Structure 1
Amino acid sequence: MNFSCVQFLVFLTLISSSLGALQVIRDLIEFNVAGHPVLHKTQNWSFDPDVGKRRSRQYEELNGVLGEKAIERLGLGIDGYDRERLAKQQARDEGHLGGVDYLTP
């Protein structure tokens, strides 16, 4: 059986298209039914459940017991004008307690 170049190219095209179809079917089954192979890998993470208790002292020193220092820092911004904003806020809040002027009756 002699194959001409055209017949050989047709044969290769048919083989490659059938292999491509098989690849598509395999991908559909693998990724939609069985799940991506990365999902089936086993991972090990070192986890210490008591680290939060140990780090709470550091958090309270840095941010305050309830995070009030962190909230204040966020309100002052990060653009380098934090001292100017703090001075404006202190001038605005002078004589007020919780939004109420406690110096007047």
Structure 2
Amino acid sequence: MYKILVLLSLCLLHQAKAQAPIGPIGSFIRTNAVGHPVIHEKVTWIFDPDVSLKRRRQFIELHGDKGEKLIERLGLGIDGRNEERLALQRQRDEGHLGGLNAYQP
């Protein structure tokens, strides 16, 4: 039993030394010259170049060519008073060119 406790304590001591801080010079070299181990991990990404064309068509159908429907919906809010706000915006923009007066005399 004594031998097992000694062996276990030696293993724990070895692990503690392996995880000990490396000091300011060691950390400087690690961060500036070598880099953290996370930087050197290899990552693979599943990439489909054709999915953008499908999603572009879907976005245009749902939100308009430049997202004008999306911008209008965001401006109406989500609190259930969107119809009231839409009526006020339409009343405000009546007679304007795209909401601007700059081109009218």
1:23 aligns with 2:25: no
The percent identity for this pair of structures is 52
CA RMSD of aligned residues (A): 2.0
Pairing 1:9-88 to 2, within 5 Å after superposition: 23-24=22-23, 25-88=25-88
TM-score (norm 2): 0.63
**In structure 2, distance between residues paired with 1:37 and 1:79:** 47
TM-score (norm 1): 0.63
Which segments of structure 1 move beyond 6 Å, counting only runs of 4 or more? none
**In structure 2, distance between residues paired with 1:64 and 1:55:** 13
Higher-Rg member (1/2): 1
Total equivalences in the alignment: 79
Unaligned runs of 5+ in 1: 1-19, 101-105
**In structure 2, distance between residues paired with 1:67 and 1:29:** 48
